Chain A
Amino acid sequence: DGGITQSPKYLFRKEGQNVTLSCEQNLNHDAMYWYRQDPGQGLRLIYYSQIVNDFQKGDIAEGYSVSREKKESFPLTVTSAQKNPTAFYLCASSIDGTLSTEAFFGQGTRLTVV
């Protein structure tokens, strides 16, 4: 089946640790996105990539890093510099970066700092 897969579903991090969230898509989409969702809030854009080997900061990029070495993969690293990392993280993809068509979402990763 074509789709977008995030792993793991749940992730626990100790303070001071970096963690990497995985996002893989087999939809042959050029554009990929990472969002953060907090309770009672909408989605906030962390990073996005419109093409392989290129990515841009979104609205809340501080404390996060990404890479886009392959078209199908867009991992997100939550670094120790992110002061409040506990949240629900959503990865999405779209055919291209114009967003003239819909975005497809993974099932999310819930990150908890312990």
Chain B
Amino acid sequence: SQQGEEDPQALSIQEGENATMNCSYKTSINNLQWYRQNSGRGLVHLILIRSNEREKHSGRLRVTLDTSKKSSSLLITASRAADTASYFCATRNAGNNRKLIWGLGTSLAVNP
């Protein structure tokens, strides 16, 4: 069953603008991970944020986690055409269930 739900489903912005994608989940988590997928390719890991963390940065990426609201956001600053891809969140639930639960993804188009 899907737990992570990203919104928006699709986002179109101009180069240089910031892009924000959100992910909501239903149960307690151990960590939440963001991945990127270029069309027809495999997924590439972006950032992992643990349940006791509230914010992480990596280059132009900023991820926040609000466990009280069971939500996370991914911010890409100063977007580039090369950022065009689908972005997925995945949650590792707390407890012994050793699987990643995936959302449906946000399709981001950055127009030059």
Contacts and interface: CB of A to CB of B under 8 A. Distances in A.
Interface of A: 6, 35, 40-45, 48, 50, 58-59, 88, 90, 92, 97-108, 110
Given A50-B98, A99-B92, A100-B30, A42 B42 contact: no
B21 to A, nearest CB: 14
B42 A100 contact: no
Contact of A107 (B42, B45, B102): B42
Given A45-B99, A101-B48, A108 B40 contact: yes
Contact of B104 (A41, A97, A106): A41
B43 interface: yes
A90 B100 CA distance: 14
Contact of A103 (B1, B41, B45, B105): B45
A99 B29 CA distance: 11
Given A100-B31, A101-B48, A108 B42 contact: yes
Interface of B: 1-2, 4, 30-31, 33, 35, 40-45, 48, 88, 90, 92, 98-100, 102-105
A102 B33 contact: yes
Contacts, number: 59
A61 B17 CA distance: 42
A91 to B, nearest CB: 8
Given A99-B99, A100-B31, A42 B105 contact: yes
Contacts of A41: 104
Contact of A59 (B1, B35, B90): B1
A42 B102 CA distance: 6
Contact of B2 (A42, A90, A97): A42
B101 to A, nearest CB: 9
Nearest to B103: A42
A99 B100 contact: yes
Given A43-B100, A45-B100, 4 more contacts: A6-B42, A103-B100, A105-B35, A105-B42
A105 B103 contact: no
